[in-house]
Amino acid sequence: MADVLPDWLNPEPWLSDDSVVDGDSIRSAIYSLSPGPRELAVLLSKEAGGHIEEMAQRAQAITLRHFGRTISLYVPLYVSNYCSGGCIYCGFASDREQIRLKLSDVELKAEVKALKKQGFNDVLLLTGERTEEAGFEYLKECVKTASGYIHNVSVEAFSMSVDEYKELHEAGCTAITLYQETYNPELYKELHRWGQKQDYAYRLDVPSRAMEAGMRSLGLGVLLGLDDPIREAVCLFLHAQYLLKKHWRSGVMISFPRICAQMGEYKPAYPVDDEFLARMIFAFRICLPDVPLVLSTRESARLRDGFAGVGINRMSVASKTTVGGYGSDGQESGKQFEVTDTRDVNTFCAMLRSKDLEPVFKNWDSVFNA
């Protein structure tokens, strides 16, 4: 695998380290002033499980120092579930038998107006892989429409060229979210049965293309459960580190999605439990102190309450994984996956305030998009 990956994405030096992981090396990693992939690997090791409370306290202190007592809130809006891809783990894959829909301009306006009324000014537009029904031009028009109402419009969709990302940016898009899903090239080929997404190298280069096009931020992540989570986490860290050095004018965000129940009923080969998820979040906060860390409604209310302000500083809320569902009255589509935390905006914000955390609905003004 090492000769397939670019030089900057080789996890082996950090995973094959023969040094002993003990209490001293774990505490050294927790309090390191310049943590890197070696410290991350130590904190992800099973030996670090006995130090999880110390890791949590350190993560909370770092989060408070860099982000204050704020939690940035966003909402996902699926504009289409048409998909040409064959991802074996996804409910939108083209061989799934479900109702396929896309929002019309009128329906999209109804959706963003409804979200605006709830206080949202940060919306993530999502689609499946590129199709004739919902291709680039359709997505660009969705961005134009949404940015007429919402200050911060980001996109999670198919891979694009630099020129397409430039057009999307000019239309009002400020950020791109795109997960490599797994950094294991052999497994990647097996999981993506057909479609453009089969091209591992092309997808791996998306963040650089989007940042080159002027995107303000890039959301990264792996789909936890597909492969060895420690290896995946180290690769994710190396990817973020590479982008922050190469495209220093832009920023990155890190998400921690675990596989949820979906129509394909894919069973993860490497299920990630709550304890490892906690260590991963704390380890990334310690090793990337000023990078926003994101947790979605895939996770339970109990877990999300516990991680808020303790590593995590950005969260989705009141999410739908159907097309629309917030304000338009069209037919309901199938879901990409099941949402676990189903609380509404007011209930969720009340929880944050009970923890002395302030929900933030807007941290970017569209006047800066120019």
Output the domain CATH number for residue 163. 3.20.20.70
Total number of domains in the chain:
1
Q: Give Cα separations from 246 to 176, 269, 302 (angstroms).
A: 17, 34, 38
**Number of DSSP helices (H) and strands (E) in the chain, helices first:** 14, 9
Query: How far, in Å, CA of 363 to CA of 152, rounded?
Result: 8
Residue 43 located in a structural domain: no
pLDDT for the residue 262: 52
Cα separation, 143 vs 210, in Å, equals 15
In a domain, 35, yes or no: no
Whether 184 is covered by a domain: the verdict is yes
Q: How far is CA 218 from CA 201, 215, 283, in A?
A: 17, 7, 20
Task: Give the number of C-alpha atoms closer than 13 A to the C-alpha of residue 194, restricted to the C-beta side.
Answer: 6
Residue at 24 is within a domain: no
Q: Is 210 exposed, middle or buried (0-12, 13-18, 19+ CB in 10 A)?
A: buried
* Structural domain of 143: 52-369
Quote the pLDDT of residue 123: 97
User: Rounded to an integer, what distance in angstroms lies between the CA atom of residue 109 and that of residue 282?
Assistant: 39
In a domain, 109, yes or no: yes
The predicted structure's pLDDT at residue 156: 97
**Exposed (0-12), middle (13-18) or buried (19+): which is 117, by Cβ within 10 Å?**
exposed
Residue ranges, the chain, pLDDT below 70:
1-4, 17-18, 261-265, 328-337, 363-370
- Tell me the β-bridge partners of 358: 70
Does the pTM surpass 0.75? The reply is yes
Token pair belonging to 290: 């000023």
User: Distance (Å, rounded) from C-alpha 287 to C-alpha 267?
Assistant: 31
Q: Sign of dihedral through CA atoms 143, 146, 149, 152?
A: negative
Contacts of 170 (CB under 8 A, 6+ apart): none
Residues sharing a CB contact under 8 Å with residue 111, sequence separation 6 or more, in sequence order? 77, 103, 324, 325, 326, 327, 328
